Amino acid sequence: MDCIFCKIVAGTIPAKKVREDELILAFHDIEPKAPKHILVIPKKHLVSLADATAADEALLGRLLLTAGEIAREEGLGKGYRIVISTGPEGGQTVDHLHVHLLGGRQMHWPPG
């Protein structure tokens, strides 16, 4: 399958890994949009939140809990932002579900 994040999971494309377990992989975004910009993804190929079902409930919870744990480890006690781009109008450019963890600067609203 021609999915860049599946290739990172498989190890055929390198990534700066932050955390890995049997279900989840976290790594630094290649084009960081904040001083800390980490992506948390399920190892299983899931296109987006729009494709998730009730069977993915535990996995989705794990993604968010992991993002929160990493934020703590990375010293983002003053706050951070979680973004899940979904579909073309959501600005999703990689079709493998990923949670953006952005921190280390003041975030603004509305986002772009």
Pairing of strands 24-28, 36-42: antiparallel
4, 62 contact by CB (below 8 A): no
29 binds, among Zn ion, ligand AMP, none (CB under 5 to 8 A by kind): ligand AMP
The correct pick among 23, 62, 94, 104 for binding ligand AMP (CB under 6 A) is 94
Q: Which residue has the tokens 């299983």?
A: 44
Which span sits near ligand AMP by CB under 6 A: 27-35, 56-64, 72-80, 101-109? 27-35
Min dist CB 93 to ligand AMP, Å, is 3
Which of 74/95 has CB closer to Zn ion? 95
CA 64 vs CA 16, 72, 82, 83, 86: distances in Å: 20, 13, 9, 11, 16
Q: Which residue has the tokens 């494309």?
A: 13
Residues of this chain that bind ligand AMP (CB under 6 A): 4, 13, 15, 29-31, 39, 85, 91-94
